[in-house]
Amino acid sequence: MASSLRSAATLLSRTAAAHPRLAARRALATSAARLQASAPEVVVSAPLAHAAADGPKFPGALHSKYTHELAFIKQSAVLPTYRVLDQDGQIVDAAQDPHVDEAWAVKVYKTMVTLNTMDMILYEAQRQGRISFYMTNYGEEATHMGSAAALELDDIIFGQYREAGVLMYRGFTIDEFMNQCYSNVHDYGKGRQMPVHYGSNKLNFQTISSPLGTQLPQAVGAAYALKRAKKPNVAMCYFGEGAASEGDFHAALNMATTTNSPVLFFCRNNGFAISTPVSDQYRGDGIAARGIGYGMHTLRVDGNDVLAVYRATQLARKHAIEHSEPVLIEAMTYRVSHHSTSDDSSAYRSKREVEDWKARDNPVTRFRKYMEAKGWWDQAKEDKHKKETRKTVLAAFAKAEREPKPPVVDLFTDVYDTVPPHLREQEKELHALMAKYPDHYSTAAYAPSK
Amino acid sequence: MASLFRPATASLRRLATTNARQLHATARLQAENPPPAEGFMPGVAHSKLIRGTPELALATPDLPAHIVKDGQTTKMNLFQAVNNAMDTALGTDDKAVVFGEDVAFGGVFRCTIGLAEKYGRDRVFNTPLTEQGIAGFGIGLAAAGHTAIAEIQFADYVFPAFDQLVNEAAKYRYRSGDQFNVGGLTVRMPAMAVGHGGHYHSQSPEAYFAHTPGIKFVVPRSPIQAKGLLLASIRDKNPVIFMEPKILYRAAVEQVPVGDYELPLGKAEVLKEGKDLTVIGWGSQLYILENAIQMAEEKHPGLSCELIDLRTIAPWDVETVVNSVNKTGRLVIAHEAPLTGGFAGEIAATVQEKCFLRLEAPVQRVCGWDTPFPLVFEKFYVPDIIRCYEGIRKAIEY
């Protein structure tokens, strides 16, 4: 085949000069021969190396240069993971030291421990039937604290559902957490949603919703508003690697770059979406590689390293504000937790694997080692804090449990800014039923409707 | 809209009014000069529902007193009125922005023409081709206290945004315990039949959204209505979906008050009073109903029909409808959207509940058949003059 092509090429070249159409056919024949001779299955990382100096200048890729080598383009190397602290709590490269002070470190560490304690008690509460549902945050404490510590109160936060530590760091009290989980009269959400669907307008933390990924394009819009208002702030958007498969993720990243919105996309890649391991979730290089595809500044960090997460978020935030650009941060971590109280992860992963991770790379322990080396923490402080925290959490828990539920009138309020006639009518109908069947529709557990 | 000018039987042909003859003439003209992409509903110019003079315009019910007093009106079609409303919103609210696909150059239906030049590309801008992104972005803007005026290019393409609108926008205030809300969000979308739109350029999705507590859904029938209702929608403290009958963009022309005015949401308008039968519709369907009523009143001397424009589908004005049916005892509802699960069912169920003993006939629903919107069969599909007339006849002859 190749030899017949070559002889055809030779024959054609003799008559090429006299006949333009033959010249074209000759060019085709020679390129066909070249194709035959090359190995199209060979994967090279940069066909650009063989490109000519000029390019077609199509509007879709204005700066793309010609290449005359046909080869699949594949990512040449897995994106590296930024780390500051090693497993022994030592700063690996002194140049990366964020130089945090003792107060900062103590607040971060104490909040991590308080989060663990609250998680432990509320998980148990669900198991005992006292609250209907809960999600713990074990293993991801550093992603919460490191990022929260780099934000300002005027930064607007959109979470997914496993960022309770962020809210805690910002100042949400144990009482406030408990009230939401118990759906009592003090819940800011008025008991309308399942536990862990926190929201706080005073802490600028948008109320959590269950649909995954919906918060991503919303964060872009909020960031655009901040930019328009000329505020030196970002919208911070948390999500998991599973949620990043949703269409909203792609819509959001694309909208963020094209509208030049100062939004930080913070992905907690913890290896699982309920039972779905990352190998069933994606085949690319995690979520970070996608940011590059959207033309976005991207960082991949060790999510179990509080200082790395802190530095990355700081840098991202600064860039986003100064350049009015989005940044994608992929924080690699491991979901020690079950997905929720409705999940027993031993059904799809070995308990051994989880124990290994807890022993090998516990973000809380890693940071504690750093603090102890600095002389900012010790066992006595640990015991004292654990004891105090447990006491506070248990007291808040008991108090929240005793509170009544919100008044039944709040079934009908806030659907719109005011209650429309048809809802007033439906409310009357319900009231009539409640009056007729008072035992069935007992309001003993509910605060009185004013 | 072919059926408007080709009555089915000889007797009905004899009944053809000046209106219908004019429709026929207009239709011939259309055949020689193909209609624009958004269609052109013939005969609207001759409709009595159109307020084509300043006097008629200033007599619009619910028009604020200062607008009537000012007295200034100007000739505008529907897309110009929509444009004017957005211009007014952008001009009076620094936090308002307009965005969507192709809005920067003026929009595929010219609704945003001139706005980017006037207010800048940071306030009137294109988005990538992503309805879910547009809706989510709008929600975020509104959650941050800004005024988001989003455009979905065709109502047929609103469905990628359905999750954001139904699960997020509609529930934003309720789920947060009123800590947050997206009242600043308005989503505009061209919709309804155009004559050649087929499956994906003709839909009326009001029923899907009417079923979602927390959002409002509004449909204007004319330029004066569009400007006032759109301004009210933008300024309403709840997320509002605003569905524009695109076949009216050029075809509906009125003298529109130049000032800044709103018309009330949640309030239907009685367009023609009558004592024997209540007829309800919205958007472009009202012009078909007007003609069907005219035909019926000529064929059945003494018959007097009451025509109501619902205007807001959610929350709808139950009181006005119930009062009317309690007066007339008979009801016909018409909409292009398919019969089953269509909004006429909601109105019919509520009316039979509240007016059961008063009703003299079953409620007639004249709707699109339960099929996707067909291209070549459009004239057989839509609730045209003949079908609406037959619905009226069934109600009065029961």
pLDDT digits (tens, 9 = 90+) for A416-436: 999 999 999 999 999 999 999
Does residue A167 carry a pLDDT above 60? yes
Q: Does B210 touch chain A (CB under 8 A)?
A: no
> Residue B126 has which token pair?
């294109």
Helix axes A306-323, A141-148, angle to 10 degrees: 40
Interface residue B176 vs chain A (CB under 8 A): yes
Instruction: Identify the pLDDT of residue A35.
Output: 44
Single-letter amino acid code for the residue at B315: P
* Chain A interface includes B319 (CB < 8 A): yes
> In whole angstroms, what is the distance from residue A370 CA to residue A377 CA?
9
DSSP tally for chain A: helices H, then strands E: 15, 7
- List B residues 321-360 in contact with A (Cβ-Cβ < 8 A): none
Cα–Cα distance measured from residue A58 to residue A64, given in angstroms and rounded to the nearest whole number: 8
User: B316 to chain A nearest CA, in Å?
Assistant: 9
Q: Which tens digits make up the pLDDT trace of B185-229?
A: 999 999 999 999 999 999 999 999 999 999 999 999 999 999 999
Q: Are A266 and A138 in contact (CB under 8 A)?
A: no
Which whole number is the average pLDDT over B81-99?
A: 98
Contact A320, A234 (CB under 8 A): yes
A94-402 folds as Rossmann fold (3.40.50)
Partner residue facing A214 (CB), from B138, B167, B180: B167
pLDDT of residue B22: 56
Q: Any chain A CB within 8 A of the CB of B148?
A: yes
DSSP 3-state of A176:
helix
Across A294-314, average pLDDT: 98
Q: Which residues of B touch A247 (CB under 8 A)?
A: 132, 160
Contact B137 A224 (CB under 8 A): yes
Q: What percent of chain B has pLDDT over 70?
A: 92
Chain-chain contact of A416 with B216 (C-beta, under 8 angstroms): yes
**Weakest-pLDDT range from A65-79, A105-119, B193-207, B360-374:** A65-79
- Residues of chain B neighbouring A190 (CB-CB closer than 8 A): 177-178
Does the distance separating the beta carbons of A422 and B315 come in below 8 Å? yes
Closest CA to B263 of B236, B230, B229, B237: B229
Average pLDDT estimate for B85-89: 98
Chain B contacts of A167, Cβ < 8 Å?
none
**Beta-carbon contacts of residue B228 (< 8 Å; ≥ 6 apart):** B60, B62, B63, B85, B261, B262, B263
Given a contact cutoff of 8 angstroms between Cβ atoms, the answer to whether B384 and B41 are in contact is: no
Q: Is the pLDDT of residue A337 over 70?
A: yes
- The answer to whether the beta carbons of residues A308 and A98 sit under 8 Å apart is no
| B144 with A201: Cβ contact below 8 A | no
Confidence of residue B138 (pLDDT cuts 50, 70, 90): very high
Q: Is B100 part of the contact surface with chain A (CB cutoff 8 Å)?
A: no
With bands split at pLDDT 50, 70 and 90, how would you rate the model's confidence at B34? Answer: confident
Decide if B238 and A206 are in contact by the 8 Å CB cutoff. no
- pLDDT at B253 > cutoff 80: yes
Answer whether B386's CB lies under 8 Å from B8's CB. yes
B172 interaction partners in chain A (CB closer than 8 Å): 207
Task: Say whether pLDDT at B14 is over 80.
Answer: no
B residues 42-71 closer than 8 Å to A (CB): none
pLDDT for the residue A15: 46
Beta carbons of B215 and B173 less than 8 angstroms apart: no
Q: Which residues of chain B are within 8 Å of residue A258 when distances are taken between CB atoms?
A: 127-128
Which residues, 6+ apart, have CB-to-CB distance to A275 below 8 Å? A339, A343, A345, A347, A348
- For residue B110, the model assigns a pLDDT of 97
What's the alpha-carbon Rg for chain A, to the nearest Å? Answer: 29
B296-302 average pLDDT score: 98
Taking the CA of residue B109 and the nearest CA in chain A, the distance in Å comes to 23
- In B, which residues are within 8 Å of A218 by CB distance? 136-137, 139-140, 143, 164, 168
Q: Could you report the predicted ipTM of this complex, rounded to two decimals? A: 0.91
A415–B174: do the CB atoms touch at under 8 Å?
Answer: yes
Q: Does B177 touch chain A (CB under 8 A)?
A: yes
Q: Determine whether the interchain pair A188/B176 forms a contact, defined as Cβ–Cβ distance below 8 Å.
A: yes
| HSE toward the beta carbon, residue B61, CA cutoff 13 A | 9
B173:A415 CB<8 A: yes
Per-residue model confidence as pLDDT tens digits over A26-77: 544 454 444 444 434 334 445 555 544 699 999 999 999 999 999 999 888 9
Mark yes or no for CB contact A221/B168 under 8 Å: no
Answer whether residue A1 shows pLDDT above 50.
Answer: no
| pLDDT at position B36 | 84
Burial of B12-36, coded b for 16+ CB within 10 Å and e otherwise, reads eeebbeebbebbbebbeebeeeebe
Name residues 262-301 of chain B within 8 A of A (Cβ): 266
More confident residue, B158 or B43: B158
B128, B134, B168: residue with CB nearest A209: B168
Q: What percent of chain B has pLDDT over 90?
A: 90
B199 inside 8 A of chain A by CB: no
Which of A160, A220, A224, A249 has the most B C-beta neighbours within 10 Å, making it the best mutation to test the interface with B?
A: A224
Q: Do the Cβ atoms of B97 and A228 come within 8 Å?
A: yes
* Domain boundaries defined on chain A: 1-36, 94-402, 407-450
pLDDT at B8 over 70: no
Taking a contact as any Cβ pair under 8 Å apart, which residues of chain A between 146 and 185 contact chain B?
156, 158
Average pLDDT over all residues of chain A: 91
Domains, chain B:
48-257 (3.40.50.970), 269-397 (3.40.50.920)
According to the model, what pLDDT value does residue B252 have?
A: 98
Which residues 400-419 on chain A approach chain B with CB closer than 8 angstroms?
Answer: 413-417
User: Which A residues, 251 through 280, put their C-beta within 8 Å of a C-beta on chain B?
Assistant: 251-252, 254-255, 258-259
pTM score: 0.90
Residue pLDDT, tens place only, A236-272: 999 999 999 999 999 999 999 999 999 999 999 999 9
d(CA B233, CA B329): 33
Which residues of chain B have a CB within 8 Å of the CB of A207? 172, 175-177, 179-180
Give the percent of chain A with pLDDT over 90: 87
Catalytic residues of A: 124, 210, 339-340
Q: Which residues are CB-contacts of A125 (< 8 A; sequence separation ≥ 6)?
A: A131, A134, A181, A397
For position B7, what pLDDT does the model report? 41
User: Per the CB < 8 Å rule, is A235 touching B145?
Assistant: no
Q: What is the pLDDT of residues B37-62, one digit of tens each?
A: 889 998 999 999 999 999 999 999 99
Containing A228, the helix (H) or strand (E) segment is helix A215-228
The residues in B 364-393 lying below 8 A from A, measured between CB atoms, are none
* Chain A residues whose beta carbon lies within 8 Å of the beta carbon of residue B128: 251, 254-255, 258
Question: How far does the CA of residue A373 sit from the closest CA of chain B (Å)?
Answer: 43
pLDDT for position B31:
53
CA distance B336 to B199: 12
Per DSSP, the residues of B202-259 read S---HHHHHTSTT-EEE---SHHHHHHHHHHHHHSSS-EEEEEEGGGTTT-EEEEE-S
